[in-house]
Amino acid sequence: MDAATAAPLWLLVAAPVDAPGVADCLKEAEREARVGTRVHVLWTEDGLGGLASPWPSRLFDAGAATSVCARSARARRVDAATVDRTVRWSSLVSFLTALPAGARLWTLFP
């Protein structure tokens, strides 16, 4: 599927990056962003550990939008200074409200 026909991909990462299947989904999101598909990734809950991995910058470099759920980050005491500058602070509500019609929504939970 090429970028012109691919539905946008919204990826909610609420599982650790080393959980089964998470890295595969992140690789697919990265691949799709590289070919021009609109991709947005939100890090939240158990997925917040992924903020310290290479994934946020890899996804950004590929052309994906990346954000972190501010409520989850505050609750889990994520130090804002450690979050990659390419990651926007947002919310689950904002993430889901921006979901385009016809988009694919992938959710990764532990």
Give the model confidence (pLDDT) of 52-80 as tens digits.
999 999 999 999 999 999 999 999 999 98
Structure tokens at 42: 């939100």
> Residue 42: is its pLDDT beyond 70?
yes
pLDDT at residue 1 in the model: 52
pLDDT interval class at 92 (50, 70, 90): very high
How many angstroms separate the CA atoms of 78 and 66, rounded?
16
Residue appearing with tokens 């005491």: 77
Q: Mean pLDDT of all residues in the chain?
A: 94
Phi then psi for 99, rounded to 5 degrees?
-60, 115
For the chain, which domains are there? 9-108 (3.40.1260.10)
